[in-house]
Amino acid sequence: MPIVTVTRRLRFNAAHRVHNPALSDEDNTRLFGKCNNPNWHGHNYVLEVSVRGPVNETTGYVIDLGQLRDVVEREVINQTDHRNFNIDVPYMAGINPTTENVVVQMWRVLFPAVAPARLIRLRLWETENNYVDYEGE
């Protein structure tokens, strides 16, 4: 039976301040630049959710992408869209909201939520030029 990867793209926007309180203000500015601005700033994020599995003989689908969208919206987008990662988003509590840290926390929420579909990759775009991939390692 053929094994296929399918991907759903979702968009949201959110504010953040990338900041490590264990470091000095000077070091935070040096490390994080504009993303360390004290009064927040926003990004238009794009999240790509990929699941992999056999093609169902009856439906011809690996997963209904509308169902996958509903799960991702319920589990992460609704808690995140138009919010501030530093103060509003439960799964980011106490975690510095770099794109890397966000994608790992999203994985921890989504991996069990999409089961029995098998989540194999999250790709999170922070800007048109920068994205991170996480595959659960």
Q: How far apart are CA 36 and CA 109, in angstroms?
A: 26
35 is catalytic: yes
Residue 122 touches Ni ion, criterion: CB under 5 A: no
Q: Closest distance between Ni ion and the C-beta of residue 50, in Å?
A: 24
Q: Which of 26, 41, 126, 135 is catalytic?
A: 126
Three-class DSSP labels, 1-58? CCEEEEEEEEEEEEEECCCCCCCCHHHHHHHHHHHHCCCCEEEEEEEEEEEEEECCCC
Binding mask 8-37 for Ni ion (x = CB under 5 A): ---------------------------x--
In total, the chain counts a number of residues equal to 137
Report the site for Ni ion in 34-53 (rule: CB under 5 A): 35
Catalytic residue ranges: 35, 82, 126
Interface residues toward Ni ion, by CB under 5 A: 35
